[in-house]
Structure 1
Amino acid sequence: MICACATAILFGAGGAAAQVSDLVSKTALRVCADPANLPMSDQSEQGFENRLADFVAEKLGLPIEYTWYPMATGFIRNTLRANRCDVVIGYAQGHELVQNTNHYMTSAYSLITKAGGPLADVDHLADPRLKGAVIGVVAGSPPASHMARNGLMSNVHGYDLMVDRRYESPVDDMLADLEAGRLDAAAVWGPIGGPLVKQGFPDLKVTPLLKETLPPRLFFRITMGVRLGEKVWEHELNALIRRNQTEISTILKDAGVPLINDMGTAALEVSP
């Protein structure tokens, strides 16, 4: 009886796995993406996640097909889970809505300051030079908790978290305020702030916040997200990431994304 049950379970699980794998397109790399989320992605395909998608598609020998949907409540339900696409190029490790591939980058929230200014070499939020400084932060983001712990909230200027990026861009606004002198510093997720600084704010400096030891953590590993249960597809993408990590890191570095090691303790050097 035990053997019969085990056999039934194995065949049942195998059948389910095959059925799930059949949902993945064999004729195109079907990507779920936000149409207005630069510097990550946009409908004109100018973001660094678009460039990563191009790279993955080239390695797979497939054309790209996009399903565009705002990265907000309902994104996964209306794209990946609706079987309209097969992969989200950038998704934080450990999120239960998707099955994560191995991570292809680790990055961190960063402090952005004026290059050559009095705060240019500040690399942690407990630095006493930040007392009295006007600091921009996206409301509800992890750096705000560290600012509160360090008594910096009285001069913090908050920017909205939940916006329609087709019409509003809080981080662009924050960096413009910093450049204009309305802020002394800004705490921003590195993969957003770094590329924006590289593209349009040459007088600003990006410093990853790697010295914060108390929670919440400020560094995250970023993966590709696939549908739950799609182990065959996940393994295929894992192998692609492993074989091409140097090229992937170069794409990210060229875009201005601050890359750090997997433990969040030091900047990552990318070999040419």
Structure 2
Amino acid sequence: MTSMPLRKMVRVTLATALLSATVTASALAQGAGLGAAGELVDPDILRVCADPSNMPFTDESGEGFENKLAELVAEKTGRKSVAYTWFPMVVGFVRNTLRANRCDIIMGFAQGDELVQNTNAYYRSSYALLYKKGGGLDGVETIEDPKLAGKRIGVVQGTPPGSNMAKANLMKTAKVYPLMVDTRFAPSVAEVMIKDMLAGVIDAAVVWGPMGGYYAKKSGADLAVVPLVKEKTGSRMTYRITMGVRPSDQEWKRALNRVIRENQKEINDILISFGVPLLDEQDRPITQ
């Protein structure tokens, strides 16, 4: 994960899921209070829009790394608590949460997505190649590496690495996993891929780095998590991740940018503790 395209890989589209409540701006102003410059941002509570079952990002139990980041943001902006509006990360997520003024922030959104106004990026990561160390793939850093020829590689349907694998003639032996999985009722696709790899069903897996890194760490196995930053052709693999706010909330965005700037080390520590492969602007790994 991360952005709508990245996160949709772990949710099934719930076309009938709608928010029944319609809240007017005047009612929200009374309930939430007007923030700086008349912005409709609650000054006392950090109101977060999030998916209730989307580990390692967010979870209703508060165990995700974006849950931990929300607690940090609340503390640093003087909020007394964090309150969530839960909604599945599917089409209509932004419209039914942030744009409906039911919350004031989405903790993780890919930079450049026009559905929200982005803060400065607070981390940068990429899709990653995962394999068992000592299993014959040590040293592989790109999808084009000849060592992958004939290997059974797990890839999520419709994600950027698939096009690179097709160009490298790896799709004939690939195992394709579904883009949409309802994680309320089934394990994350990244978790399934790693279990399959440990069981010998596949030789390697290509998945969004924060998900792959988290489930690789959780598995307890000796796995390589290699960010795909050396691809010479094909789709974009690396993304900057921001916080998303409403376009009208300029002061709020500036406040969040200050939090990011002044607390980057603490943010990195949270992400690293979840196994997120962090990259600097030169694609070098950030380890502390």
TM-score (norm 2): 0.85
Q: Which amino acid aligns with 1:179?
A: L
**Which of 182, 190, 197 is equivalent to 2:201?**
182
Q: 2:128 aligns with which of 105, 110, 118?
A: 110
Are 1:230 and 2:249 an aligned pair?
yes
> Which sits farther off after the overlay, 102-111 or 168-177?
168-177
Amino acid at match of 2:234: P
1:30-109 correspondence to structure 2 within 5 Å: 30-62=47-79, 63-109=81-127
Relative to total residues, which structure has the larger helix share, 1 or 2? 1
CA distance in 1, matches of 2:234, 2:250: 32
Which of 252, 261, 275 is equivalent to 1:256?
Answer: 275
Residues 77 and 255, structure 2, Cα contact 8 Å, conserved in 1: no
1:201 Cα deviation from its structure 2 partner: 3.9
Give the SS at the match of 1:181.
coil
Residue 9 of structure 1 is matched in structure 2 by none
Q: How does 1:17-36 map to 2 (within 5 A)?
A: 18-19=37-38, 21=39, 23-36=40-53
Q: Is 1:154 aligned with 2:201?
A: no
Which residue matches 1:216? 235
Pair member with larger Rg: 1
1:161, distance to aligned residue in structure 2 (A): 0.9
1:203 aligns with 2:222: yes
CA RMSD of aligned residues (A): 1.2
Q: Shift of residue 196 of structure 1? A: 1.1
Post-superposition offset of 1:121: 2.1
2: CA distance, partners of 1:57 / 1:121: 42
Please point out which of 241, 262, 265 is paired with 1:243: 262
Distance in 2 separating the partners of 1:84 and 1:142: 32
| Structure 2 Cα separation of the partners of residues 116 and 228 of structure 1 | 49
> For the Cα contact (< 8 Å) 1:92–1:223, is it kept in 2?
yes
Whole-angstrom distance in 1 between the partners of 2:76 and 2:90? 29
Instruction: Note the C-alpha offset of 1:204.
Output: 2.0
Kindly indicate whether the alpha-carbon contact (under 8 Å) linking 1:179 and 1:201 is maintained by their aligned counterparts in 2: no
Which residue type is aligned with residue 30 of structure 1? R
Task: Tell me the residue number matched to 1:135.
Answer: 153
1:172 maps onto 2:191 in alignment: yes
SS in 2 for 1:222: strand
Question: Displaced runs of 4+ in structure 1, greater than 6 A?
Answer: none
Matches of 1:58 and 1:200, distance apart in 2:
32
Aligned-partner Cα distance in 2 for 1:255–1:61 = 26
Per the TM alignment, residue 250 of structure 1 is displaced from its structure 2 partner at its CA by 1.0
Q: Is the 8 A contact 2:214 2:275 kept in 1?
A: yes
Stretches of structure 1 that go unaligned for 5 or more consecutive residues are 1-16
